[in-house]
Amino acid sequence: MDQIATPPTSIPPSSATVMRHLRTLETDGTILFFQHVQACQTFCDAKNILDFGAGRGGALVAAREAGNRYKAYLHDLRSLGAHVTACDIDGAVLDNQGADERVVMTDDERLPFADESFDLIVSDNTFEHVEKADKIAAELLRILRPGGFICARTPNRFGYVAIAAALMPKTLYSAVLTRAQPHRRDEDKFEVHYRLNDPAAIKRHFAPHEVYIRYPNFEPSYFFGSRLLKGGFKLLHHFLPKRLRTGIIITVHKTARPGA
C-alpha cells in the first residue's frame, strides 16, 4: 500500500527546523496552493480526485526528505481520505508516490476518463504547457462532476518570468532554466505555450462556469542560487501590482447547469 502523509502528531526535535518551516507559510507557493486545494476538497466533499499533469510527484518526495511534514501532508491529496488518480503524458507518472492509480495518457485530445468521474481536479504547474487550451478545458469540464472544482497553480502570463520565457529562443530558455534551477532534471523540462495562463483566456475557456483567480506573492523560483538575487526578487515582488505577479491560483466551480 502506498504511503499516505499524516498530520503532524509531535514537535520535530529541532525548534530551528520548526521555525524555518513556519516562516514559509506565507510565501511558499506549494503550501499556499495546497491549502487552497484542501479548502475546495472540503467544500465539495471530494472523494475522487484527479491530479492532472502529476508527473513523478517530486515535490511530495522533496517535502518528505526535507522533514517538512505539514507540507507533505498538504501535498498528498489522499490525506483527507480521497481516492487519487495521477495522470500525465510522461511515463514518469508511474513512479508517483501520491496516488492510488496512475494513468499514462496518449497525446490525444480526449482524456481517458468517463464523464463526471471526479469531484476535484488538481493541476500544479501544468497549464503553462497546454497547447490546445480549448480542448483541454472542455475535457476537464467533461470529466468533472457538477458542483466540483478545478484548482490549478500556474505562472501568470503577464508575470516577469513568463514574459522573459516567451521572449527567449527555446535553446536559450533551456540554458537559462538549467542555470536558474540546477537541480531540475532535464526530463522535467517541458515546452511552454502560455495559452491558459491569463484571466481573459481562463474565463473564456471555462465559461459559463464560475472562475476565481488569486494572485499570491510567491517566493522567487529563478535566482540562480544567489541569495542576493533572491533578496532582490523578493523586494520586487513586494512592490509588483498583483496582476503582474509571477504566479496565479485558478479555481473553477462547475455549476450544475450552464448559467446556474
Burial code (b: 16+ CB inside 10 Å, e: under 16) for 124-149 equals bbbbbbbeebeebbebbbebbbeebb
pLDDT at 216 over 80: yes
Beta strands in the chain (DSSP E): 48-52, 83-88, 101-104, 118-124, 144-155, 210-214, 247-253
CB-neighbour burial class of residue 217 (10 A; exposed 0-12, middle 13-18, buried 19+): middle
Per-residue pLDDT reduced to its tens digit, 128-147? 999 999 999 999 999 999 99
Residues near 259 by beta carbon (within 8 Å), at least 6 away in sequence: 208
pLDDT bin (cut points 50, 70, 90) of residue 84 is very high
Q: What is the pLDDT of residue 109?
A: 75
pLDDT above 70 coverage of the chain, percent:
80
Give the pLDDT mean for 112-125.
97
pLDDT above 90 coverage of the chain, percent:
53
pLDDT at 234 over 90: no
Per the model's pLDDT, the better-predicted residue between 182 and 105 turns out to be: 105
Per-residue pLDDT reduced to its tens digit, 54-72? 999 988 998 899 888 899 9
Q: What is the pLDDT of residue 187?
A: 53
pLDDT at 259 over 70: no
Whether omega for the bond prior to residue 12 falls within 30 degrees of 0, making it cis, is no
Nearest to 151 by CA among 75, 90, 99: 75
pLDDT at 237 over 90: no
> Which CATH number is associated with domain 15-253?
3.40.50.150
CB 68 within 8 A of CB 21: yes
All three cell numbers of 256, joined, read 450544475
Average model confidence (pLDDT) for the chain?
85
Q: What is the pLDDT of residue 9?
A: 52
Per the model's pLDDT, the better-predicted residue between 88 and 68 turns out to be: 88
Domain ranges within the chain, ordered by starting residue: 15-253
Task: Please tell me the distance from the alpha carbon of residue 17 to that of residue 148, in angstroms, as a whole number.
Answer: 37
Per-residue pLDDT reduced to its tens digit, 156-206? 999 888 887 777 776 766 666 666 655 655 555 567 888 999 999 999 999
pLDDT bin (cut points 50, 70, 90) of residue 13 is very low
pLDDT bin (cut points 50, 70, 90) of residue 219 is confident
